[in-house]
A = this chain, B = another copy of it.
Amino acid sequence: MKVKYTLLHKDKDTNARYAILDTNHGSYETPMFMSVGTQASVKMLSPLELKEINSAIILANTYHLWLRPGEDVIAHAGGLHKFMNYDGPILTDSGGFQVFSLANYKDISEEGVLFKSHLNGDKLLLTPEKSIEIQNKLDSDIAMCFDECPPYPVSYDYMKKSVERTIRWAKRCLDSHQNENQSLFGIIQGGEFQDLREYSAIETVKLPFDGFAIGGTSVGEEKEVMYKMIEDGIRYLPIDKPRYLMGVGDPLDLFEGVMRGIDMFDCVLPTRLARHGHAFTLNGKINLKNAKYKEDFSPVDENCDCYLCKNFTKAYVRHLIIASETFGQRLLSIHNIRFLIKIMENIRIAIKEDRFLEYKNEFYKNYGTKD
C-alpha cells in the first residue's frame, strides 16, 4: 500500500500538525524524527535497540546500497526489510544527494549524472529511471525522487535550470516507478530563491506523489534562510500528504520545522555526534571528552529514559570514548537518537494539547546554556 496521512490535530498558534501515517510496516504518529541507516544499518545499533528508543521509519541510501552490496543482492534477500531484519518502515533516498556530495567527478546532463564511484573510481550513470529501479528492488516503503542537489550558493540562472530539470526528472521517476507497494515522494528544490521554490512546489504538487519533501536545505545557508526556504515551499503543499524536511536534525530546527508544518525529519547528526563523543542534553550539546566529566558519576541526561542514561555514568562514557572503545559511541548513538525522538514525542503531545509554543519556549530557554 501507499502511505496514508491522516491529520488529527492542527496546533492553534502555528502550522504544527499532529497526524497518523499508515505504512506497510505499521502506523506511526507524526511529526517524527527518522534515524539514518545509510548502508542498511543505523550505525552501531540493532533493530531491537531502534525499537526500544521508539524509532519508527528509518532511512537507507540508494547510492550506497547500489554500490555495496548491490540492489540485486538485497532483492534476492527478499528486500531491504528482510536483508537487514528491520520490520519497521524504511525510506530510501534517491542517491541524488550522495552523487552530488561524495563523487569527486560528475557530469550532469538531461539524462542523469555521470560520476565516479567514491569507492573505486568506476564511472557510473545515475538517472531518474535507474534510481527508481534500484529503489523498487530495495522495496522500501517510501522511495524518493531523483533530484539535482546544487551546491550553495549558486546563481539564480543555474538554480532555475536545475529546478526545471528536477521537475522533468520527477515526471520520469513517476513514469518508471513500478512498485505498487512503495510510495514515491517528490522533492521541492529552488535554493534560497523564493520564486523558484514556489515554482518548484507548484509544479511538483501537480504530480501524483504520495508525499513531498523539502530539499536543498542544510547545505551551508544561514538558519533564517533555511526557515524561509521551508516557508516558501510548504505553503503550496496539500494538507493531506506528509511533508518531509530532508537532512535536518538539530534539535532547534526540529521545532522550527514542525511549527512551519513539517511532519518528517532525518539527519545523521545524532549518530555522527555520538561517534565524536558528543551528547545532546536539555541544556545543549556536551562533549564527553571534557576533563570535567572524569569523575562525574551522574547520567548524561537525568531526564532521559535511554539505556545509556539509565545504566551508565558520564565518567564511564568518557572513559570509553577516550579509550576508543566503540561501546561508548554505541551508547551515545542510542542516547542522541532517543533524545530527538523524545523531543518529537513531546512535540506531538504538545500539539494535541494546543501548547506547542509553550513547549517550544520552555525547550529554547534551557537549550544551549551548557558547555
Is A152 in contact with chain B by the CB < 8 A criterion?
no
List of B residues within 8 angstroms of A45 by Cβ:
327
In Å, the complex CA distance between A313 and B77 comes to 9
Structural contact, B41 and A327, CB atoms closer than 8 A: yes
Interface residues of A in 96-116 (CB under 8 A from B): none
Structural contact, A69 and B325, CB atoms closer than 8 A: no
Is A278 in contact with chain B by the CB < 8 A criterion?
no
Oligomeric state, in number of copies?
A: 2
With contacts A68-B319, A69-B294, A312-B85 taken as known, whether A325 is within 8 angstroms of B39 at the C-beta atoms is yes
List of B residues within 8 angstroms of A78 by Cβ:
297
Is A326 in contact with chain B by the CB < 8 A criterion?
yes
- Give the shortest distance, in Å, between A156 (CB) and chain B (any CB): 39
Interface residues of A in 43-99 (CB under 8 A from B): 43-48, 64, 68-69, 73, 76-78, 83-85
Is A40 in contact with chain B by the CB < 8 A criterion?
yes
Contacting A315 at CB < 8 Å: which of B43, B46, B77? Answer: B77
Is A330 in contact with chain B by the CB < 8 A criterion?
yes
Interface residues of A in 310-345 (CB under 8 A from B): 311-313, 315-316, 318-320, 322-323, 325-328, 330
Contacting A73 at CB < 8 Å: which of B85, B295, B307, B330? Answer: B295
Structural contact, A322 and B69, CB atoms closer than 8 A: yes
- Give the shortest distance, in Å, between A165 (CB) and chain B (any CB): 31
In Å, the complex CA distance between A79 and B325 comes to 19
List of B residues within 8 angstroms of A297 by Cβ:
76-78
Contacting A44 at CB < 8 Å: which of B73, B307, B330? Answer: B330
Structural contact, A84 and B316, CB atoms closer than 8 A: yes
Structural contact, B77 and A322, CB atoms closer than 8 A: no
Structural contact, B295 and A39, CB atoms closer than 8 A: no
With contacts A40-B319, A322-B68 taken as known, whether A327 is within 8 angstroms of B46 at the C-beta atoms is yes
With contacts A83-B316, A297-B77 taken as known, whether A323 is within 8 angstroms of B43 at the C-beta atoms is no
List of B residues within 8 angstroms of A326 by Cβ:
43-44, 326
- Give the shortest distance, in Å, between A216 (CB) and chain B (any CB): 27
List of B residues within 8 angstroms of A307 by Cβ:
46, 48
Considering residues A325, A326, A327, which has the most beta carbons from chain B within 10 angstroms of its beta carbon? A327
A residues at B contact (CB < 8 Å): 39-41, 43-48, 64, 68-69, 73, 76-78, 83-85, 294-295, 297, 307, 311-313, 315-316, 318-320, 322-323, 325-328, 330
Instruction: Known A-B contacts: A40-B319, A68-B322, A85-B311. Give 11 more (CB < 8 A).
Output: A39-B320, A41-B320, A41-B325, A44-B326, A44-B330, A69-B319, A69-B323, A73-B315, A77-B316, A84-B316, A330-B330
